[in-house]
């Protein structure tokens, strides 16, 4: 039995999200169909580092699958890409130890959120960048961003539907970059709750519009109540940019 770790890029626009479901086109479902065609193993299963919502993109999602198929590891990306629809791309495949699990062993994740702070969005970016016509105050947003850093209970900053045991997560950094009308928000953390990045970004937008004061972030965290934070930013501006592992522990030398 082999365990293979994939690096996956996708355009989330026409997917119902990562998770396999009976109706709706999912990324997991599409890749599993491809794995079945490649391995001929009807019960092949793909384990992602985490789910992404409908419309969310990935520059480097990670997922692993176990197989008895003896295809050379270097041929896996081409073999999969040649049969898969072109809005999913296998960037890389690595042989990892059988104990490796893409979700459990993720050390950190980085999400990128793209905003165009301008009256009109570019037609070519309508599924890629969130357009906000009203001017954002970036220095206020950067101040607010600093309050997210560290270990906190993020109950106020995730979907009320989130059912995980503990809502405590560690955010390593929240950086805001501006170049003319283009704003990028990069959020790096140990892991994220359901909708957490989108609620953090939505709240930062409310800070940028002076609806929330930067220093209110701490009291919102303390209240542990989703209704205290800002809105959920739309999915199409969000990109899963990186998932990190201690690869030296897991990678098999081929």
Active site residues: 53
Minimum Å distance from CB 87 to its own copies? 6
60 near its own copies (CB under 8 A): no
The residue range among 116-124, 170-178, 202-210, 217-225 that interacts with its own copies, by the rule CB under 8 A, is: 116-124
Q: Select the residue interacting with its own copies from 123, 166, 253, 254 (CB under 8 A).
A: 123
The residue range among 80-88, 96-104, 134-142, 198-206 that interacts with its own copies, by the rule CB under 8 A, is: 80-88
73 near its own copies (CB under 8 A): no
Of 142 and 235, the one with the shorter C-beta distance to its own copies is: 235
Of 114 and 198, the one with the shorter C-beta distance to its own copies is: 114
Strand partners, 210: none
104 near its own copies (CB under 8 A): no
Of 45 and 128, the one with the shorter C-beta distance to its own copies is: 128
Q: Select the residue interacting with its own copies from 22, 43, 120, 246 (CB under 8 A).
A: 120
């Amino acid at each position: 039995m082999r365990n293979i770790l994939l690096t996956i890029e996708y355009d989330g626009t026409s997917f119902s999200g990562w998770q396999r479901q009976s109706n709706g086109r999912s990324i997991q479902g599409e890749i599993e169909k491809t794995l079945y065609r490649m391995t001929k193993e009807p019960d092949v299963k793909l384990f992602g580092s985490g789910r992404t919502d409908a419309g969310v993109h990935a520059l480097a999602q990670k997922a692993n699958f176990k197989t008895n198929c003896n295809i050379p590891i270097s041929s896996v990306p081409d073999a999969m890409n040649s049969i898969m629809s072109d809005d999913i791309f296998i960037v890389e495949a690595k042989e990892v130890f059988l104990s490796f699990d893409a979700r459990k062993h993720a050390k950190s994740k980085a999400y990128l959120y793209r905003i165009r702070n301008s009256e009109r969005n570019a037609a070519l970016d309508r599924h890629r960048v969130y357009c906000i016509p009203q001017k954002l105050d970036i220095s206020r947003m950067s101040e607010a961003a600093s309050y997210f850093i560290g270990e906190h209970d993020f109950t106020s900053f995730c979907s009320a539907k989130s059912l995980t045991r503990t809502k405590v997560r560690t955010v390593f950094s929240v950086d805001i970059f501006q170049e003319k009308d283009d704003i990028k928000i990069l959020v790096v953390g140990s892991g994220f709750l359901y909708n957490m990045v989108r609620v953090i970004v939505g709240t930062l937008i409310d800070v940028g519009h002076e609806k929330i004061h930067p220093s209110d972030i701490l009291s919102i965290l303390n209240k542990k109540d989703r209704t205290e934070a800002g809105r959920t930013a739309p999915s199409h501006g969000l990109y899963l940019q990186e998932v990190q592992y201690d690869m030296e522990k897991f990678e098999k030398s081929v």
